[in-house]
Structures are given as C-alpha cells and as structure tokens.
Amino acid sequence: MEILTKGGLRAERDLHLLDSGDKIAATLTFVNPADSLEWEPGAALPEERFKLLEKAHGLGIQTWASLEPVIDPEQSLEIIRRTHEFVDLYKVGVLNHHPLAKTIDWRDFGLRAVDLLENLGCRYYIKDDLRKHLEVMI
C-alpha cells in the first residue's frame, strides 16, 4: 500500500494498517505556516506533515516526500534540510500552470536541490518537468 497525503497527523490513525513493505508520503510545499494556509487551504500545516513522516519512519514504514509544486524554491530547500533524517526518498518537480512559475529559475533551483540532496546522502527522483531544465547535468 502507498499513501500520499496533505493530511498530516490526520493520517496517523491509519499507520497501524502499514508495515515495512508499505509507503507513506506527504506533499511538502512550505515551511512557513502562513504560506501554507494561503496556498493550501484545508491541508495540514507543514510541521504536522513533517511529524507524520517522522513518526512513520520511526515505525519502520518507508517514507517519501513530494516536493511539488515548488512555489518558493528556498522553502523547498529548507524542507529537505529539516526532513532528510526521516524521509527515505524525495520526488522533486516544479510549479505548473501558474504565472509565478515563469519567474523561477528552474535550472538554478534544480542544481541547488540536487547538490543538497547529494550532500545529505538522500535518495531522490527528479521529475520530468524539472529534469528538462537539467538535462545537461543529470
């Protein structure tokens, strides 16, 4: 079984259904709660999602994080720094279909994300929409 959620600790009630062969993931977009409330109404706040992944990891459940959409590249990099000890895999993408996406230097973000992930020894997957900005590098 594999679960991807923005529900944070609301998903904690289902952890007993999972074991080491299962995976639980969270979409992680911000570290700043105010940004999360603005962009993701109804979703659990970032710290709550971090705590879910940390708890699941501690129970031996495989964890991964979807870093997509990337709305604020600096916050996405900070997410990696804050969660790398309990996230087993990162899937990193971009922001699509929004005017803000045209203002972000995706190559710079992608290079910095890969460098950080490599330096921290993290497993990661670069999604196609970000990979096209890095094709020379990856």
> CATH code at 31?
3.80.30.30
Is 138 a residue whose pLDDT tops 60? no
Is 110 a residue whose pLDDT tops 80? yes
- Structural domain range at position 104: 2-131
Q: Give the model confidence (pLDDT) of 38-86 as tens digits.
A: 999 999 999 999 999 999 999 999 999 999 999 999 999 999 999 999 9
pLDDT for the residue 137: 53
Q: Give the model confidence (pLDDT) of 88-103 as tens digits.
A: 999 999 999 999 989 9
Distance in angstroms (rounded) separating the CA atoms of residues 45 and 22: 24
Tell me, yes or no, whether 117 lies in a domain.
Answer: yes
Omega prior to 69 cis, within 30 of 0: yes
Distance in angstroms (rounded) separating the CA atoms of residues 112 and 108: 6
Q: How many domains are there within the chain?
A: 1
